[in-house]
Amino acid sequence: TILDRLRGEYDYILVDLPPVCAAVDVKAVSPFIDMFVMVIKWGETSPDAVLEALASIPNPQKIVGSVLAGANPSLLSRLEGYKGRHYAGYFSA
pTM above 0.85, yes or no: no
Q: How far apart are CA 28 and CA 58, in angstroms?
A: 9
Beta-strand runs (E) in the chain = 36-41, 63-69
In tens, the pLDDT along 18-38 reads 887 777 788 888 888 899 899
- Asked if pLDDT for residue 9 goes beyond 90, the answer is yes
In tens, the pLDDT along 59-91 reads 888 889 999 899 887 777 666 655 555 556 655
Cβ–Cβ < 8 Å for 30, 58: yes
